[in-house]
Structure 1
Amino acid sequence: MTIKVTTIQEMQAIVKSLKKELKSIGLVPTMGALHDGHMTLMKRAQSENDVVIASVFVNPLQFGPNEDYDDYPRQIDQDQAFLADNGIDYVFAPSPEEMYSNPLQIQLTVGAMAQVLEGAKRPGHFDGVVTVVNKLFNIVQPDKAYFGKKDAQQLAIIEQMVIEMNHPIEIVGIDIVREADGLAKSSRNIYLTENERREAVALSQSLQVAKTLFDKGERNVEVIENAIKTFLTQHTAGIIDEVAIYSYPQLKQVEVIKSQVFISLAVKYSKARLIDNIILKDEQ
């Protein structure tokens, strides 16, 4: 049975008891609408900790004024059943009123790492992310926290936050979980029409085009970016919102690949903006 906790006070009392019993705690932060990608993180957490706590919280601070906060899927009963079927110990599912005072007086701000890629497209997004993740870390006090590499920029920022805020927590990044055809699993995939769903596989395929070029020795960023854009244009009617290559985890723009980079892309469909990425490393 998965125990549902909705208040900070109750969650902290449970954590205090677990700490007294010397139980290790793994935290998997989510915004709900759980799928197999989330469960991959949770299974890893189960293998490395005595207790796993999944948080389900649609964080208003990380949504912009024209984004899908109100429409974001909320299905806590289904999520709790999903967690119970997979043996997760606790789900922490607070309300926005429980998590934040109104108006919020204190919020963290991310520097240069949030001024590129998703951060440039969504001002304030990563400020909201690190604020809620810090609160979750303080409430749950996990030994390890698990995040998917699909949000690679987010992962890099959280890793840096842990260093700078001195959290005694190990951040574990988990490889992107994909559908059989290669589409990255996402709660937003439910917004795709049948035709858009068929075309959306082009995102992962375009990244494989880039990897093939890279494996053949191509290191010019502009050449690789153009190859991705050409492939996407030819294989999907979705609007290309972004194709970019940055050093990783530093998140600095590069013209020639000389070390580890990640290729990030975003494509807009009628009711969904999908992201995907691949991390490549020059071994020379």
Structure 2
Amino acid sequence: MENEELNRQLRKYMEEQNNRPVPDFEGYSPYEMERIFYFPFEDGCPIQLKRLSESDYKKIPLLNQVKFIADLIKNSGEIKLTKKGFLPTKIVKEIYNQGFLKDARLEHFGYKLYKETDSPTIYLSRILLEISGLTKKRHGKLTLTKKADKLLSDDEALLKLIFTTFGKRFNWGYFDGYNDENIGRLGFAFSLILIHKYGETKRPSSFYAKKYFKAFPMLLKNVVPDYGSIERYSSRCYSIRTFDRFMDYFGIIIIEQKDLLADSYIVKSELFDKLIEVLPHQSQ
């Protein structure tokens, strides 16, 4: 009986520790942070994706670019890829000219659009279609899967798939030279919670970076900066990946940047609260 009582008290203590609110986690418990970190948008997670109206889905740039590419494949039955496995130039230009996502290098710095990799967002869209299981490559041709046939007419399910695939499976360091691929991607749902909580007011990106690394300090351990301090280097990496190349692509924030070398300023868009639901800490 003594052992049973001891085990009961130990379990109670562990449950209390796992369910206590932690200031560095913005008041969430270790248990809740586990759900946020590993199981975003799933049952038991404080953050969820809400269903939007048809008109609001049309305001999500990356979703609509992915759908446009999928429709091109569907309408033609297949797309013959280049010898290196990329979309042909004619199709790349057709996608870019839709204006879903513009590239600053192409718009303002004289770069030309010759191939898929000249537009990181088109390259990203094609990768997301592939790793989401919506397309397959075979014998140099790109076709849709049966999974795509079911999802392309369901904006809610398609967005959740693309959103979670981007957050959990895509390598966020793919398009930059930073030496740690985990910054930003790991705990990406926590960044959404930060925007939910603080995004009504325009704040510098470094404000969010500090809170992110306060919650996940282990991500700084392997950082070897190419310039400046570890904190500044990591903050810049986090900002570019989280805001410029994730949230902005989904239309849920507005970015203001006066100087390329200075902090950008972030405020949530009208779409954010329509799409993102965040529940407060729940005592178990």
Larger Rg: 2
Same fold, TM-score > 0.5, yes or no:
no
The structure, 1 or 2, with the larger RCO (C-alpha pairs under 8 Å, 6+ apart) is 2
TM-score for both structures, normalised by structure 2: 0.30
Which has a greater percent of helix?
2
